[in-house]
A and B are shown apart, each in its own frame.
Chain A
């Protein structure tokens, strides 16, 4: 209780401390310094069951949320999730998370840097009034050790499943004189729509500490998380963990053997989507000895085995930030390519559960910095969701090709 109170007080104080920094943040990643969508460096989409598009974004040192009934053309008045500017985690693979339950309840999670050493803290909140207001954000866990790279998803029963990277076991190990590589993959569930979470549990120790996680559900109560793991010898290759239920993590299974032995922060995490047929679709980046670049693989046995990795993109155009979505009209993948002047988002589609893919086509370009390309579905169509500094926010239908 006291920890939660202290963390809340710390959040409030940080809001003040972050004010000065916020005015300068637009210099690097965003078009301007206010809290509006046009100034956002990171935008995360989610469709509500009624077809309303919801966006959560980072801008002006705040997390804001707004909705659109016309595919992003016009937005509702933004609602501030955080009331004052914060020292938000704006790292390359960080972003605010938003998930919407079947009753229109909105769960949001985000991370801040809580100290000079860039230790993170994950906060969560929810709106129970259709996005008109959000509860005061609360720490997702009572632990005070660094947490970052949270992900959230709504389960079939309306509970919210969260996973994140957490350094509590690293600190414990160091205190007892043991070496500990990376961070731990922790998880928790919320039975109140994302306002509060049950006690955090460990899914796996020694994961890479600076890459986003991928989350999807294999069925009701069966979350699956893909992450960059640290395998024997410091090899930072990808792994998947399938949960038997939201409180029971399964074993860690390797997605691919890329042999990327590196003591570094790749800042470049994977993406996971699971089709109605139960196929796991995973896409990721590696710079390993065995393979370099972007790759895709699928599993039809709940992650026990994966197909031979398929390379994506033109190697001479620095393909980056892959994302996959098993959508209503096939499985879609997007990624960025850069030719020295211009960034393009390429799309490829599979209509046979990932066995074959269409020739990639560029569906959007920009001439300045941009957010990662994301995919989102309204249950009928898949869309590319992409924030760009020069051209603003874009929602582009994809996956209509035969």
Chain B
């Protein structure tokens, strides 16, 4: 019994060393602050863009993120932007690790970097209270469709198909 206890203590010691560990330090997240939303819109103007708001501590986000990674890989014509809008501060390590694992490293990845999150959210959508995940589908003409909660991949695929057919 004593040996098992010691082994368990050793295991716990190993586990607690993990949270600070970050093997993706050359993978940079763009800091999302005041004015960043307009920057995102300007940078992608005229091109179909999927913007995904998520967070490392959000259960449904963990399920959805790898599906989005796969979607991005299979839909090269859609620009993918992720914005970590989790309200637990300082999670760049976990955010990078989850994006990497989901295959979303090549996307344009941001993280909320201003503690005044009400203002950040207000700039994006004055009615958004912070629920995540949340996906915004932006068409060439700037029309935005908001999907609250986990997006269904067939819905994203249908939207993508329509963007291909739409006049450029």
Contact = CB atoms under 8 A, between A and B. Distances in A.
B58 A369 contact: no
Given A29-B89, A210-B58, A341-B119, A265 B131 contact: yes
A91 B131 CA distance: 12
B57 interface: yes
Contacts, number: 138
A27 B31 CA distance: 12
A17 B5 CA distance: 21
B88 interface: yes
A10 interface: yes
Interface of B: 5, 8-9, 12-13, 15-20, 55-62, 87-90, 94, 97, 112-119, 121-122, 126-134, 148-150
Interface string A6-30: 1001100110111011001101111
Contacts of B60: 263-265
Contacts of A264: 58, 60, 131-134, 148-150
Interface in A114-164: 115-118
B72 to A, nearest CB: 20
A369 B117 contact: yes
Contacts of A118: 56-57, 88, 94
B90 A28 contact: yes
B89 A318 contact: no
13 contacts: A6-B5, A10-B16, A13-B12, A13-B16, A14-B16, A17-B19, A263-B149, A265-B57, A265-B60, A268-B129, A338-B118, A368-B115, A389-B116
Contact of A87 (B19, B115, B134): B19
Contacts of A21: 19-20, 90
Interface residues of A, number: 53
A91 B118 contact: no
A179 to B, nearest CB: 11
Contacts of A92: 87, 130
A278 B9 CA distance: 49
B126 A25 contact: no
A285 B55 CA distance: 20
Interface string A86-120: 01011110000000000000000000010111100
